[in-house]
């Protein structure tokens, strides 16, 4: 009974996320998984409907998650999902109070973003054989992700018309339907142009009905999915080195890291990344320590031992 009632509310909630919040497919799946798990908890406690839950239910669920040894990041994600779910139910006047509103979120572990050094990136870029169609596409993907710092979901949403090669910019459709223009460097533009004029045409020819306007196509001629981009990055990196373990998001980290290390200001990096809050971008300031140390050693009269050259 609890599962049926949860399914009804979940269906309405997912519809809201999809239509009003423009949530990605992966976001929707994450909500489904978290809320289905919550439904199993309600059933085990004999609670027939999510609308019957109270603050005591929330505390008990919180405790259950820790008993099951979930990581803090996982607990925080599940609690956040339930807060959003119950906020929606309150908005729809299905409940009077959000039982998860006052739940204390676990402090996140402070993990520094993983990024690549320039020589590691160069090794990756040199590994592509541009005579091969899929290598042309994959190189263009790598170059664009590194050149712009865009998210994978944003990369997959790029249409041919969004790229202005003359001006050197791309229109990016970000979270919550927010749009921003990002400059695209010459290496990325060259790789994309070569892919568009060669491999993309042969890939598009495989789709007989309704050729996609997406910039990046799969080997079947359809728009390349987020999962497809993750597969491309993982496969290409493994081909180069078993020691490198990166995701497309690490290229976003690398973009921000390299900009800051080379003198870009934090506010500009924030705008390029599409972060709503500057505090989100500040995590990247850790990487500037090497640059600051270099500046200090070159500028301070007593930073180096006698006889050392700058």
Give the dihedral sign, CA 210/211/214/217.
positive
Of 59, 72, 77, 175, catalytic = 175
d(CA 251, CA 196): 22
252 an active-site residue? yes
175 is catalytic: yes
* Cβ pair 172, 150 in contact under 8 A: yes
Segments in 149-225 forming alpha helices (H)? 152-157, 186-197, 199-204
Q: Say if residue 199 is exposed, middle or buried (CB neighbours under 10 Å; 0-12, 13-18, 19+).
A: buried
Out of 200, 252, 253, 258, the active site residue is 252
Say if CB 218 and CB 224 are below 8 A apart: yes
Owner of token pair 């290390």: 261
Active-site residue (options: 78, 151, 236, 258): 151
Find the catalytic residue in 64, 90, 234, 249.
249
**Residues 267-286: b if buried by 16+ CB within 10 A, e if exposed:** eebbebbbbeeeeebeebee
Q: Which residues are catalytic?
A: 151, 175, 249, 252, 275, 284
């Amino acid at each position: 009974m609890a599962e049926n009632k949860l399914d009804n509310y979940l269906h309405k909630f997912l519809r809201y996320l999809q239509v009003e919040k423009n949530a990605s497919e992966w976001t929707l799946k994450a909500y489904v998984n978290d809320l289905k798990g919550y439904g199993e908890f309600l059933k085990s406690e004999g609670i027939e409907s999510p609308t019957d839950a109270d603050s005591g239910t929330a505390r008990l669920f919180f405790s259950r998650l820790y008993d099951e040894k979930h990581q803090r990041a996982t607990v925080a994600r599940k609690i956040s999902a339930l807060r959003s779910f119950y906020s929606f139910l309150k908005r729809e006047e299905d409940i009077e109070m959000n039982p998860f509103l006052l739940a204390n979120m676990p402090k996140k572990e402070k993990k520094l973003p993983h990024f690549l050094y320039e020589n590691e990136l160069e090794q990756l870029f040199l590994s592509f054989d541009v005579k091969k169609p899929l290598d042309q596409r994959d190189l263009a993907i790598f170059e664009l992700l590194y050149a712009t710092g865009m998210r994978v979901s944003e990369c997959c949403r790029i249409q041919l018309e969004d790229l202005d090669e003359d001006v050197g910019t791309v229109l990016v459709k970000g979270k919550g339907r927010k749009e921003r223009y990002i400059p695209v460097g010459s290496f990325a533009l060259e790789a994309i142009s070569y892919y568009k004029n060669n491999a993309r045409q042969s890939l598009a020819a495989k789709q007989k009905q309704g050729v996609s306007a997406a910039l990046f196509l799969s080997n079947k001629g359809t728009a390349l999915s987020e999962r497809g981009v993750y597969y491309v990055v993982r496969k290409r990196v493994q081909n180069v080195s078993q020691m490198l373990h990166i995701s497309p998001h690490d290229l976003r980290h690398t973009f921000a890291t390299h900009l800051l290390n080379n003198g870009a200001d934090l506010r500009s990096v924030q705008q390029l990344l599409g972060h709503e809050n500057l505090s989100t971008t500040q995590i990247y300031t850790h990487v500037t320590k090497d640059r600051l140390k270099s500046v200090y050693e070159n500028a301070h009269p007593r930073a180096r031992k006698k006889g050392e050259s700058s």
